[in-house]
């Protein structure tokens, strides 16, 4: 174990690889909607190229994120069955997921936030911002932002003319069938793309000899049309279907043998005008989610349908060589129809603006957002970032306020049933979370091969929303509860403080004409303290120590990659189902591939090489060793 951790620390997580050199200081748009170099943003940002999905031993976007330094993915099953994404501790609802600048966080529950309505082939890059961005993007951007940028919507995407595509098929143990395919066509005025991702398996055995089956399918298509010299319209539609065994995903009861089906429809339109000194855009989005949750064969299924509608306007302007500004407004509505949570809707309005100033070695930015929500009223969210260049080093700092409102599950779960004998109980009286976040870091590019990034941060949170075991006598609403029941109530926790440190190191080297090596290591140290005497569930579930990495080596047409993940966290047990969370685990995955005839490649991979028994969340055992292999064709 010590040797494995040593190699992880020495650097093993690639952000890109192949014949093209990795840009250690690429351009980002996530920190404030304005394009700038990562080192000038004043933030801790990681950029991943979309091609990485094809080069590592992963089958879903959630698995890809699992090995990015500083991103904790708490999985309940394999290949994207369901995962909670955590940044800088806290809860999974405190991370904002964006697709081409638009929020995809689900109104029903944050557990669905990892169901990203885009196939991997359509992704140009993923930008990961650690720390708050509520002043720019609004509620839920507390721990950070995961921003997926598609090839069709991206202004910087590859626009090679003609048709391009790929087909990848893999099979493996437990009747696994994985397919990942895409097609793209580009001309002078038109870009069209589509992709599909499918993961299917009968799964490994769970408690009670049930199978951890999974049938996940994502289909996305997009088009961009240059209407005139300056005007362009981009459109996207996506369908995502998840059918999986959800046994003990949400409870630790022995009667829980749940199954779940989640279907998402996503429609997005963007009209953008590009000018010499900037651009302006209008975005319109409609998302619909249908969720069918069956606790066990004799229970009545929960039927939930939610809708999310958003209209957004953004104007970006370059005033001169020193000043850039961005401003805009946003209106959205969340709605739910449910036999379990009832029928509800809530509206939100916001106005926001950012100013970016460059002066010699200084890069300064300030953002301000006025946010109104029917549940928590009006809130002012400020953010300030600064970066100072000193030789090969950038010193950066940021401070910002963030806010989060409860989702429909936290407010109304089990609220509409005639009788509830146990489980999670929603609380309509929840107030909004709010927090102040402080960050200080340094980044340096020693040369073309080495990059080092170190950050210290502190987050002070008030009214944090989480689930707390609560006796019947203390429940604020007892109408449909039983005195003998066992319940977890959604509550506001007065104060939670989180301190942390992050360090990641990137290394790339061309070893002669035929050898290439790309490495990057990451370690995150976190400590959260709550003033509540009764510990809540998700706040204490995050890793205290997180080490991640992947090593990728290429020799001629031979490609080798290795993932490593180490977690150290609190111990917890559920004796009724013989489940436990171990204090630490170390996970290894490996892949070997060979390319030939310029278009074909074959590969084999092993997930969980050492066959360890582990769980990220109590009651949801993760798969043991899993072997698979396949082939891909690129044209």
User: Could you read off the pLDDT of 88-112 as tens digits, one per residue?
Assistant: 998 889 999 999 999 999 999 999 9
- The whole-number pLDDT of residue 596 equals 87
- The whole-number pLDDT of residue 178 equals 96
User: Confidence class of residue 18 from pLDDT cuts 50, 70 and 90?
Assistant: very low
- The whole-number pLDDT of residue 34 equals 85
Check: CB of residue 237 under 8 Å from CB of residue 152: no
User: Could you read off the pLDDT of 557-578 as tens digits, one per residue?
Assistant: 999 999 999 999 988 888 889 9
- The whole-number pLDDT of residue 530 equals 85
Give me the residue spans of the domains in the chain: 2-162+235-566
- Is residue 16's pLDDT more than 50? no
**Dist. CA 619–CA 76, nearest whole Å:** 9
- The DSSP output letter for 11 is T
**Dist. CA 283–CA 269, nearest whole Å:** 6
Check: CB of residue 77 under 8 Å from CB of residue 214: yes
> Both tokens of residue 481?
């509860």
Q: What stretches of 360-415 adopt beta strand conformation (E)?
A: 362-373, 377-390, 393-404
pTM of the model: 0.93
Q: 3-state SS of the chain: helix, strand, coil percent to 5?
A: 10, 60, 35
- Is residue 4's pLDDT more than 50? no
- The whole-number pLDDT of residue 156 equals 52
**pLDDT (average), residues 474-497:** 92
CA distances from 307 to 101, 146, 266, 289, 337 (A): 19, 21, 10, 7, 9
- The whole-number pLDDT of residue 166 equals 94
- Is residue 8's pLDDT more than 60? no
> Both tokens of residue 439?
């960050």
- Is residue 341's pLDDT more than 90? yes
**Dist. CA 28–CA 38, nearest whole Å:** 6
| Residue 556 CB-half CA count within 13 A | 3
- The whole-number pLDDT of residue 511 equals 82
From 344, 346, 343, 317, select the one nearest 331 (Cα to Cα). 346
- The whole-number pLDDT of residue 50 equals 87
Pairing between β-strand 176-186 and β-strand 27-28 as defined by DSSP bridges: unpaired
User: Could you read off the pLDDT of 418-461 as tens digits, one per residue?
Assistant: 899 999 999 999 999 999 999 999 998 888 888 899 999 999 99
**Dist. CA 348–CA 352, nearest whole Å:** 13
Check: CB of residue 407 under 8 Å from CB of residue 344: no
- The whole-number pLDDT of residue 506 equals 87
Name, in order, each residue with C-beta under 8 angstroms of 602's C-beta and a sequence gap of 6 or more.
Answer: 593, 594, 629, 630, 631
- The whole-number pLDDT of residue 626 equals 94
Per-residue exposure over 345-365, b if at least 16 CB sit within 10 Å of its own CB, e if not: ebebebebbbbbebeeeebbb
**pLDDT (average), residues 463-489:** 93
**pLDDT (average), residues 247-268:** 95
Q: Positive or negative, the Cα torsion across 384, 462, 490, 585?
A: positive
**% the chain with pLDDT above 90:** 72
User: Confidence class of residue 177 from pLDDT cuts 50, 70 and 90?
Assistant: very high
**pLDDT (average), residues 580-597:** 92
For the ranges 1-5, 71-75, 76-80, 510-514, the one whose mean pLDDT is highest: 71-75
User: Confidence class of residue 1 from pLDDT cuts 50, 70 and 90?
Assistant: very low
Domain 2-162+235-566: which CATH number of 1.10.10, 2.40.50, 4.10.860, 2.40.170: 2.40.170
Containing H/E element for 410? Answer: helix 408-412
User: Confidence class of residue 6 from pLDDT cuts 50, 70 and 90?
Assistant: very low
- The whole-number pLDDT of residue 3 equals 44
- The whole-number pLDDT of residue 163 equals 93
- The whole-number pLDDT of residue 518 equals 86
**Dist. CA 164–CA 91, nearest whole Å:** 40
Q: Across the chain, what does the average pLDDT equal?
A: 90
User: Could you read off the pLDDT of 277-292 as tens digits, one per residue?
Assistant: 999 999 999 999 999 9
- Is residue 5's pLDDT more than 60? no
Containing H/E element for 64? Answer: helix 61-66
- The whole-number pLDDT of residue 439 equals 96
Pairing between β-strand 481-511 and β-strand 420-425 as defined by DSSP bridges: parallel
Q: Positive or negative, the Cα torsion across 242, 248, 254, 255?
A: negative
**pLDDT (average), residues 156-161:** 62
**Range with lowest mean pLDDT among 21-35, 47-61, 158-172:** 21-35
**pLDDT (average), residues 469-479:** 92
**pLDDT (average), residues 370-388:** 95
**Dist. CA 318–CA 353, nearest whole Å:** 14
**Range with lowest mean pLDDT among 172-186, 190-204, 299-313, 561-575:** 561-575
- Is residue 14's pLDDT more than 70? no
């Amino acid at each position: 174990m010590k040797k494995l951790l040593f190699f992880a620390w020495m650097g093993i997580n690639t952000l890109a690889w192949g014949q093209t050199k990795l840009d250690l200081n690429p351009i980002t748009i996530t920190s404030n909607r304005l394009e700038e170099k990562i080192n000038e943003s004043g933030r801790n940002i990681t950029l991943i190229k979309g091609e990485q999905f094809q080069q590592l031993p992963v089958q879903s976007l959630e698995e890809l994120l699992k090995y990015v330094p500083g991103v904790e993915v708490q999985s309940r099953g394999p290949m994207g069955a369901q995962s909670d994404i955590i940044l800088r501790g806290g809860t999974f609802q405190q991370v904002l997921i964006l697709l081409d600048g638009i929020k995809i966080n689900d109104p029903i529950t944050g557990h669905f936030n990892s169901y990203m309505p885009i196939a991997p082939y359509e992704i140009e890059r993923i930008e990961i911002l650690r720390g708050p961005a509520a002043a720019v993007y609004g509620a839920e951007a507390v721990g950070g932002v995961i921003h997926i940028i598609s090839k069709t919507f991206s202004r910087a995407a590859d626009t090679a003319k003609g048709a391009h595509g790929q087909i990848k098929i893999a099979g493996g143990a437990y009747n696994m069938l994985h397919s990942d395919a895409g097609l793209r066509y580009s001309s002078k005025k038109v870009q069209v793309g589509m992709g599909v991702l499918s993961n299917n398996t009968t799964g490994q055995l769970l408690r009670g000899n049930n199978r951890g089956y999974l049938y996940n399918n994502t289909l996305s298509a997009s088009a961009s049309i240059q209407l005139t010299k300056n005007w362009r319209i981009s459109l996207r539609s996506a369908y995502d279907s998840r059918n999986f065994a959800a046994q003990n995903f949400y409870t630790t009861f022995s009667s829980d043998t749940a199954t779940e089906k989640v279907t998402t429809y996503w429609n997005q339109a963007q009209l953008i005008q590009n000018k010499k000194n900037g651009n302006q855009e209008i975005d319109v989005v409609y998302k619909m989610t249908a969720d069918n949750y069956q606790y066990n064969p004799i229970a009545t299924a929960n039927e939930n349908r939610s809708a999310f509608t958003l209209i957004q306007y953004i104007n970006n302007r370059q005033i001169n060589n020193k000043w850039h500004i961005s401003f805009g407004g946003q209106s959205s509505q969340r709605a739910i129809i449910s036999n379990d949570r009832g029928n509800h809707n809530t509206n939100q309005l916001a106005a926001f603006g950012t100013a970016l100033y460059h002066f010699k070695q200084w890069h300064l930015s300030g953002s301000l957002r006025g946010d109104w929500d029917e549940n928590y009223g009006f809130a002012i969210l400020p953010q300030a970032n600064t970066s100072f260049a000193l030789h090969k080093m950038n010193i950066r700092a940021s401070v910002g306020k963030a806010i989060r409102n409860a989702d429909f599950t936290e407010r109304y779960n089990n609220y509409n049933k005639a009788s509830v004998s146990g489980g999670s109980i929603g609380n309509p009286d929840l107030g909004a979370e709010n927090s102040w976040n402080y960050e200080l870091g340094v980044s340096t590019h020693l040369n073309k091969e080495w990059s080092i990034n170190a950050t210290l941060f502190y987050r002070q949170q008030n009214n944090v929303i989480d689930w707390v075991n609560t006796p019947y006598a203390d429940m604020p609403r007892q109408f449909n509860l039983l005195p003998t029941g066992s319940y977890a109530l959604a509550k506001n926790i007065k104060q939670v403080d989180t301190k942390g440190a992050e360090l990641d190191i990137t290394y790339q080297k061309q070893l002669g004409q035929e050898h290439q090596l790309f490495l990057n290591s990451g370690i995150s140290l976190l400590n959260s303290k709550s003033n509540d005497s009764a510990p809540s569930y998700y706040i204490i579930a995050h890793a205290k120590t997180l080490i991640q990495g992947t090593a990728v080596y290429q020799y001629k047409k031979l490609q080798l990659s290795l993932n490593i993940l180490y977690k150290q966290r609190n111990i917890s047990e559920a004796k009724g189902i013989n489940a436990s969370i171990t204090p630490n685990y170390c996970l290894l995955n490996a892949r070997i591939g060979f390319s030939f005839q310029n278009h074909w490649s074959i590969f084999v991979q092993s997930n969980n090489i050492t066959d360890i028994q582990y769980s990220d969340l109590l009651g949801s055992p993760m798969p043991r060793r899993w072997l698979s292999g396949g082939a891909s064709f690129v044209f």
